[in-house]
């Protein structure tokens, strides 16, 4: 399998710093998606004055490609054990938090509570500790939840291609794996120990999940670690490379901003809401078909303000503590949530903005081989008769 080899981070930073305003204006006036150089021009300091035009173009493209739909999902934290030491994360092995890994029954109970609350898309999340939560347990959980949810996604430790394929067969359709930062020097500084220390290995994981046949793969950068403009260009490059290699796979991009967490890590660089909005607009212009995720890390007011302008997927009613939906008294969160509204409240807000909240836009039946075979044979006579 070929590998994504990003250019030096500093080289992209220098390119960005020197990009002229006219380049960004040309991109905004054009009718085609820009190259990475065009994306760099949009994110350059010279183009700061073009934010309103970027918002407008992002809004237009989002309506064209996605209509007025906003998909809703909720995360379920399965385990906060982690063998890595990431300076910015509450689950880091060095933090003295209360640790817990859900049993299969507890996982199903948390999932059913979210189902009762109206969720049909869920994301299973865990720290990276394979001995506490292995592929076998994820597979069992997926099989228990088959037919209950429209889609089950995962954000867990990196797996082998054959393990992703096993999980896909069990009903998991989507994998999120974030590089955190595309700046190798910063990556080394914030990843103190554990498997995640290996920048190049981490960079390969999204391609591995796509090669295994996952329907959707999510990538992202954790904002607040290194220069956000350069992270945006590198994310765009990674996305474009993945699209070229895996044209059958759908891709999403997330821009999690650092939140207060156990360990007290302070962002190394400030990233304002305006900067985050700019990144979202620019990625939408760069790739009009990519799904853009805005999670409950962000505040209610920012999330409401961004409705219709670019993001296509929102989490709601989230809890980042394993077992925390059924037991709100549990501690050991990954980070503090910024938007505490329930699913119903987020749905009301989406409607108030003239958009359609969508709790189900996929069904597991679409991925089952036997069902596809049945559909084909059912329709064969009709097709033959025409
Ligand atoms: S970011 Fe992920 S790998 Fe790093 S400490 Fe947190 S849960 Fe573990």
Tens digit of pLDDT per residue, the chain (386 long)?
A: 789 999 999 999 999 999 999 999 999 999 999 999 999 999 999 999 999 999 999 999 999 999 999 999 999 999 999 999 999 999 999 999 999 999 999 999 999 999 999 999 999 999 999 999 999 999 999 999 999 999 999 999 999 999 999 999 999 999 999 999 999 999 999 999 999 999 999 999 999 999 999 999 999 999 999 999 999 999 999 999 999 999 999 999 999 999 777 778 899 999 999 999 999 999 999 999 999 999 999 999 999 999 999 999 999 999 999 999 999 989 888 888 899 999 999 999 999 999 999 987 666 666 655 444 443 444 333 333 33
Phi first, then psi: what are they for 181, rounded to 5°?
A: -145, 140
Residue written as token pair 């999510």 = 218
DSSP code per residue over 333-379 = -SS--S----HHHHHHHHHHTT-EEES-S--GGGG-HHHHHHHHHHH
Side-chain-side CA neighbours of 284 within 13 Å: the count stands at 29
Residues with CB under 6 A from ligand 1: 82, 84, 86, 89, 91-92, 127-128, 196
Distance separating alpha carbons of residues 268 and 174, to the nearest angstrom: 31
Return the residue whose CA atom lies nearest to atom 7 of ligand 1: 127
> How far away, in angstroms, is 78 Cα from ligand 1 center?
13
Largest interatomic CA distance in the chain = 68
Return the residue whose CA atom lies nearest to atom 5 of ligand 1: 92
Specify the ligand 1 atom closest to the Cα of 85.
Answer: 5
Determine the 3-state secondary structure of 240 from DSSP.
helix
Q: Check if the beta carbon of residue 65 is closer than 8 Å to that of residue 289.
A: yes
**Contacts for 334 with CB less than 8 Å, ≥ 6 apart:** 77, 80, 89, 90, 91, 125, 127, 261, 320, 321
Q: Is this model's pTM higher than 0.95 or not? A: no
């Amino acid at each position: 399998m070929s590998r994504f080899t990003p250019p030096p981070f500093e080289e992209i930073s220098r390119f960005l710093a020197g990009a002229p305003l006219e380049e960004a204006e040309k991109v905004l006036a054009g009718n085609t998606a820009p190259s990475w150089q065009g994306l760099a021009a949009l994110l350059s300091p010279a183009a700061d004055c073009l934010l309103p035009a970027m918002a407008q173009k992002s809004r237009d493209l989002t309506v064209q490609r996605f209509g007025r739909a906003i998909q809703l999902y909720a995360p379920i934290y399965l385990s906060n054990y982690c063998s890595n030491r990431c300076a910015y994360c509450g689950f880091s092995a060095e933090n003295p938090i209360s640790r817990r890994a859900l049993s299969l029954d507890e996982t199903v109970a948390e999932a059913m509570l979210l189902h009762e609350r109206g969720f049909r898309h869920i994301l299973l999340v865990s720290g990276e500790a394979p001995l506490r939560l292995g592929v076998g347990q994820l597979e069992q959980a997926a099989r228990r939840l088959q037919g209950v949810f429209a889609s089950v996604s995962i954000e867990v430790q990196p797996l082998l291609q054959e393990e992703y394929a096993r999980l896909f067969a069990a009903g998991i359709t989507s994998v999120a794996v974030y590089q955190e930062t595309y700046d190798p020097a910063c990556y080394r500084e914030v990843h103190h120990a554990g498997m995640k220390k290996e920048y190049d290995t981490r960079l390969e994981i999204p391609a591995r999940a796509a090669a295994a046949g996952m329907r959707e793969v999510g990538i992202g950068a954790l904002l607040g670690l290194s220069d956000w403009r350069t992270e945006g260009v590198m994310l765009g490059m990674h996305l474009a490379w993945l699209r070229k290699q895996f044209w059958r796979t759908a891709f999403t991009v997330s821009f999690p901003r650092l939140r207060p967490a156990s360990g007290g890590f302070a962002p190394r660089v400030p990233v304002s809401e305006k900067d985050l909005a700019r990144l979202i607009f620019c990625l939408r212009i760069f790739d009009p078909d990519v799904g853009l995720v805005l999670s409950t890390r962000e505040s209610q007011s920012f999330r409401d303000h961004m409705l219709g302008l670019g993001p296509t997927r929102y989490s709601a009613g989230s809890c980042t503590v394993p077992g925390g939906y059924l037991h709100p008294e549990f501690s050991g969160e990954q980070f503090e949530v910024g938007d505490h509204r329930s699913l119903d409240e987020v749905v009301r807000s989406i409607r108030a903005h003239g958009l359609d909240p969508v709790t189900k836009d996929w069904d597991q039946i679409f991925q089952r081989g036997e069902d596809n075979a049945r559909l084909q044979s059912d329709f064969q006579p009709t097709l033959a008769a025409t």
